[in-house]
Amino acid sequence: MGDTTTSTTASKVDDASVLHPYRKRKFFFELAELLGEPPRRCLSRRHRSRREQETELVNGDCARRQSAPPELVDYWDSDQMCEGTPCWLDEERTKCAVHKEPVLCPMLLFCMQVMDEFIAYNTHTRQEAWRVAACRLAQGVFVARWDAQLLGAGSSQEIELQDFLQRKAALVGVAYDVWRIVAAYWDRYKQNYLHNQELYFATTHSDHAGGAQSSKWACMRDYAHIYGLRASQAAQLADATASVERASSFDFLCALLAAIHRQVVSQPEWKIVFNTVVIHLQKWHPGVGVFPCGSFSRGAAYGSTIDVLVALPDAPVRPRTRRAPAVRYEDVVGALATAGIVQTAQEHRMGPTRSLFVMPFKKTALILDLKVFEQPKTWFALVYFTGPQSFVREFFSALLQLSLRELSEPSFDAIYLKATEVLGFERLAAVESEKDVFTLAGREYLLPAYRR
């Protein structure tokens, strides 16, 4: 059965190999057809008029926007376990700029990259909901194997794809359809994968005539490399690039050239930087708590941001002196600046107690997303900024017993303000840990790695 599936996938991919690698829409239709669920819009399109096709597309987009969950305005993590754009998406690339060292488990890395790509695309298009859920679960399994490989625990964690396709082996938490998705991507992009020992050659040459006309999804992926740009904003910019009439959008796009771009580092490198921040802040004041947030706190193999949350102690940082929260935040920034970790000239203030810093690291620059809170607000912020966004929406909707759409805006400050109204100050004041926040929501505590 595995051989038949693989050969079927390969034949479909060979027929579509003339497409530019960034023109992904047709590939996803082929993938859906391979998995037994061809999109209905494609079945009889040639038998409908142009007006009917346009009406269907417009209605579909409207329905998708109405059913889409609210987008958290101050949550900027990409929720990906690897780099935003895998090297195998570009067949012209001959050297990977991210994975400079030899990759110990190349197929395991490919599986994690495929999960990121499949989840991101189908979350955006609001398709394949149950397969997206299966891929989220499988991603956690792959990340755990990657961590075990880094720690050198046990035997090799490499994936033998054919064994799983032929049902000779099974991996708890990874559905068979997930292996079929990985196989479809592998057949399509294996000749572009730079971390495999075996060479693969495409049977036909790719047509680059449409290379300048990249798909909307490819444009959105490119814009996602700008830290702080949300998916909805990236979609608007992708639409703007197709129309010269929206000059204001192009002006905004030009302004983004000076924006903060994500630079990818590995998990071991991230730990070095994070531990440096912890050591200096603990040396400055032992009562300060320092916590990781974002994808790295959930076990990401590669990422771009040192996402740090600082919990201020109950007592004032400087005895006998009461200072406003903003001033106490400045004390934290001052301690990091004194240690040479950040430069105040490179500070991008995003709120009263939140800033982005551009930190030099080796031959590149990293983003430090620094957030400072007092207790008990710290513990709610830790749940919020640890993510992922899908978990955050579900968790706080259950905590507040209402949809986040009913808030003034879907942001952390709005959520915490509503929590004080719903739960009362006394219940909030009793919160002393992240586990207490889970208890208020009526849920068992989940480690960050298991939040989906």
- The answer, as to whether pTM is greater than 0.85, is no
Domains for the chain: give ranges and CATH numbers.
2-192 (no CATH), 216-258 (no CATH), 262-374 (3.30.460.10)
- For 406, phi then psi, to 5°, come to -80, -10
154 phi-psi bin (left φ>0, alpha ψ -120 to 50, beta other): left
DSSP state of 344: G
Cα separation, 218 vs 216, in Å, equals 5
Say what the pLDDT of residue 52 is.
55
SS3 letters across 286-342: CCCEEEECHHHHCCCCEECEEEEEEECCCCCCCCCCCCCHHHHHHHHHHHHHHCCCC
Query: What local confidence, expressed as pLDDT, does residue 4 receive?
Result: 44
**Cα–Cα distance, 409 to 413 (Å, whole number):** 9
Measured between alpha carbons, how far is 371 from 308 in angstroms, rounded to an integer?
6
**Structure tokens, 124:** 């955006």
Long-range contacts: 309-312, Cβ < 8 Å, 24+? 309/371, 309/372, 309/373, 309/378, 309/381, 309/382, 309/385, 310/281, 310/370, 310/371, 310/372, 310/373, 311/373, 311/374, 311/375, 311/378, 311/382, 312/288, 312/372, 312/373, 312/374, 312/375, 312/378
Q: Count CB atoms within 10 A of the CB of residue 19.
A: 18
Q: Residue 422 and residue 417: Cα distance in Å, rounded?
A: 9
Q: Tell how far CA 108 is from the center of its chain.
A: 18
Q: Which residue has the tokens 């709005």?
A: 414
Q: How far is CA 193 from the centre of its chain?
A: 21
User: How far apart, in whole angstroms, are the C-alpha atoms of residue 398 and residue 376?
Assistant: 19
pLDDT for res 34: 56
At residue 97, φ and ψ (nearest 5 deg) are -85, -10
> What is the Cα 253 distance to its own chain's centre?
22
Q: pLDDT tens track of the chain, all 452 residues?
A: 444 444 444 444 344 333 444 445 555 555 555 565 544 444 444 445 555 544 555 455 444 455 678 899 999 998 999 988 888 887 666 677 777 777 888 999 999 999 999 999 998 888 889 999 999 999 999 999 999 888 876 677 899 999 999 999 999 999 999 999 999 999 998 888 876 655 444 443 333 333 333 467 777 777 777 777 777 777 777 777 665 444 455 455 555 545 677 778 889 999 999 999 999 999 999 889 999 999 999 999 998 889 999 999 875 444 444 444 444 899 999 999 999 999 888 889 999 999 999 888 887 788 999 999 999 999 999 999 999 999 999 999 999 999 999 999 999 999 999 999 999 989 999 999 999 999 999 999 999 999 98
As given in the structure block, the two tokens for residue 76 are 């900027």
Backbone angles phi, psi at 242, to 5 degrees: -95, 0
Cα separation of 420 and 282, whole Å? 30
* pLDDT number for residue 93: 65
Confirm if 118 and 132 have CB atoms less than 8 A apart: yes
Sign of CA dihedral 33, 38, 44, 49: negative
Measured CA to CA, the distance from residue 188 to residue 409 in angstroms comes to 41
pLDDT score recorded for residue 346: 84
> How many CA within 13 A on the CB side of residue 386?
22
pLDDT at res. 251: 55
Bridge partners (DSSP) listed for residue 349: 355
* pLDDT confidence of residue 41: 46
What is the distance between the alpha carbons of residues 425 and 377, in angstroms, rounded to a whole number?
11
Residue found by looking up tokens 């075996």 in the block: 198
Please state, in angstroms and rounded to a whole number, the distance separating the CA atoms of residues 267 and 296.
Answer: 7
pLDDT of residue 319: 43
What would you report as the CA-atom Rg of the chain, rounded to the nearest whole angstrom?
A: 23
